[in-house]
Structure 1
């Protein structure tokens, strides 16, 4: 695709990147066939190819409009198009650049500005979100149906293992997961503890930055990223006082994982943080990548076990963002679980971070379609790998929805624990 960037962005880091991405697109349209919003709306401008043209026009100097902004807002950033694209177009990065430029040119209506600002300020701050979630859970029976779907039932936290091990990994608590599903990281810690790995939480680490980044609060997102790097660095260098340097940074939420793996790119122009950010990204692993290293031990521990039938929903941030496919299914299979993928398992469930709040109609349509396909598998429960997907799906079904690591934790708890060497 030929480009002629306008002077305001030509020669900048964003401009050079955007031009490279645009030139890699051959506008074949394969991406359109797997775009969830195009499937719902049937509008070329609500598919990746159309959005690429809109971004190209804006970067070449055509003034953005409210309609331009609306079409970009409707994108889930699921990156299914990247998995489909034969040319390897980095659509997600182009979209970030396009949204940033468009939001500078087009002022949103007051209601949108207030909603987006509230989400950007409240969700990443655990000291605000946690009490609010607890209050919502206490009052859940009285809440309107739409809000009740966003507020899951309260679950009591379970025990975190207290043993120290020579092998250590950091784990990110994040912002909303500790309040909405406190047992995910505890289950991961117990499973890894049984395999001789200690999970450590850095107290000063917080939101990964994805929430603000996708709300176009770019500088605030970079501040979140730098804070996390500062919080993790003593553990990376082994000077935190707890033992040897950590061997990795574990992500139990795939939405956080895809963001942290991108730290090196996002801070590549920051001389003070570029090298550290690249190191953090290189150390970051999804939970399924970590447990894959222990498949022989898990197979031996769980041999002969028969588990339930579960429907697995692979989050977009895992299968499209991180390009990790098949790992979770294989690990659940070791526990004797009958894992079913539903029809159109490659399509987004409609959660997409704050999308379910900002685009409720489209989000609900995608969720209801996904739920129908998941329930059609005849599964006894639904599992996923991202807190946003879990919460969103649970709001539309009576089947229990939980993180896949909780199934592995439950299976191991039913088996004899091997004696420590």
Structure 2
């Protein structure tokens, strides 16, 4: 699909990149079948094909930025359309570019700007978010019902401000790996990181904590706020490279959204002469836990087969972003875990970063459909691998929602220890 750039976009680098991405689209429409918003709303402009046409029209000066903003804001950036696209259109990249162009053209409302700045400055900073979370938990009874449902209980494994896990005597051992803690997961679900440390130790791998790392940059990058995102990415690269040079085996990232973002550092910074090689090295040495554990002797993790039915929700970032659909499920099955079947398992749960806040009604409708499909198999527990999905699913789930690492550790412990 060719795009004739309008006069004001002729020399705009973002517009030129968008034109190249649009060119791959053949307008077949296969993408609409895997788009949650198109399936829900039935509007061509709320499907990938329609959004591509909107961006194309914007670049050709045929459509207002306000109209494009409306429909791009409704996009979950789940990338389900990429998985089903026969032409390999990189819709995720195109949508981000479209958002960047719109941010330069359209003034958001005061409330939108307030929310965006709040998320950028409080959620992605661990200490600020920690105190905010503790304060919110202390006034839970006063919060609106929607916020109460979204706010999880304070973990009993509250370790955000402890430093006794830091190690200073790292050697050049490839069986040592950095554990990325992120910003939200470490505060809300520290049990995930602790489970990762214990499970990896059982297969002979020590996970090391690095205090200087920060947010992976995903939230800022998708808003989009490229300047802040690149700053966060470069900070992490500088910190990790210094440790990886000692011979450590790589970086373990438990949350699939963060894992996808870090694996994309090399592509995002490919034109940065100072960081391109370092970013590529970081991307190549970043691993989802299953990439490592599936190659290990998992005898120490095995236990008697579990008879209780378990549902595994594969996040969009895992199956569409990381292209690892079925990988965790296969590993869980090897451990004797009985997985239920989930209809339309490729569909998003409606979390999508800030989407659940900025598009509350759509997010909730998408969640209701997802939960209906998950609960149809009558699972005793729901597993996932992304902190955002977990927060989203637990709103309506009558059964526990856990990270799969937590569940494996729980069921593989001796009965007396559980």
TM over 0.5: yes
CA displacement at 1:303 relative to structure 2? 5.3
Match of 2:115 in 1: 115
Task: Confirm or deny: 8 A CA contact 1:335 1:411 kept in the other structure.
Answer: no
1:337 is aligned to 337
Indicate yes or no: 2:184 matched with 1:176: yes
CA-to-aligned-CA distance 1:30-59 (integer Å, 9 cap, x gap): 001110001111110000000000111122
Q: Provide the aligned length of Structure 1 versus Structure 2.
A: 409
Query: Secondary structure of the equivalent of 1:250?
Result: strand
Query: What's the counterpart of residue 272 of structure 2?
Result: 270
Q: Deviations over 1:238-267 (max 9, x none)?
A: 1xxxxxx22111110000011111111111
Question: Which residue pairs with 1:229 in the alignment?
Answer: 237
Q: Does 1:246 align with 2:248?
A: yes
Alignment partners' CA distance in 1, 2:119 and 2:166: 35
Greater alpha carbon shift after TM alignment, 345-354 vs 268-277: 268-277
Distance 1:7 1:193, change over 3 A: farther
Structure 2: give runs of 5+ residues left out of the alignment. Answer: none
Asked if the contact 1:161–1:193 (Cα under 8 Å) also holds between the matched residues in 2, the reply is no
Q: Is the 8 A contact 2:303 2:411 kept in 1?
A: no
1:190-229 to structure 2, matched below 5 A, reads 190-229=198-237
- 318-327 vs 102-111, which moves further: 102-111
- Residue 306 of structure 1: how far off its partner (Å): 2.9
Q: Residues 152-191 of structure 1 correspond to what in structure 2 (within 5 A)?
A: 152-157=152-157, 166=173, 167-191=175-199
Residues 89-119 of structure 1: CA deviation (Å, up to 9, x unaligned)? 0000011111111111111122211111211
Aligned-pair CA distance for 1:231: 1.2
- For residues 350-361 of structure 1, the aligned pairs below 5 Å read 350-361=350-361
Partner of 1:288: 290
1:97 corresponds in structure 2 to 97
- Tell me the alpha carbon deviations over residues 270-323 of structure 1, each in whole angstroms, 9 at most, x when there is no partner: 1111111111111111111121111xx214651543353211100000000110
Q: Distance in 2 between matches of 1:112 and 1:409?
A: 41
1:242 match:
none
Cα root mean square deviation, aligned? 2.1
Post-superposition offset of 1:414: 2.3
| Distance in structure 1 (CA, Å) of the matches to 2:295 and 2:14 | 37
Q: Find the residue that maps to 2:306 and give its secondary structure.
A: coil
Q: Which residue of 1 aligns with 2:312?
A: 312
Instruction: Work out whether residues 256 and 317 of structure 2, in 8 Å CA contact, stay in contact via their aligned partners in 1.
Output: yes
Secondary structure of 2:350's partner? coil
| Structure 1 residues 105 and 340: alpha-carbon distance in aligned structure 2, compared to 1, 3 A threshold | same
Matches within 5 A, 1:312-391: 312-391=312-391
- CA 1:46–1:301 in structure 2 vs 1: closer, same or farther (change >3 Å)? closer
- The answer on 1:80 being equivalent to 2:80 is yes
- Measure the CA separation in 2 of the matches of 1:408 and 1:275: 36
1:236 Cα shift? Answer: 1.2
TM-score (norm 2): 0.93
Counterpart Cα distance in 2 of 1:6 and 1:248: 45
Counterpart contact for 1:5–1:60, Cα < 8 Å: yes
**Deviations for 1:201-243, whole angstroms, at most 9, x for unmatched residues?**
21111110011111111100110001111111111111xxxxx
Tell me whether 193-202 or 5-14 shows the greater mean CA deviation. Answer: 5-14
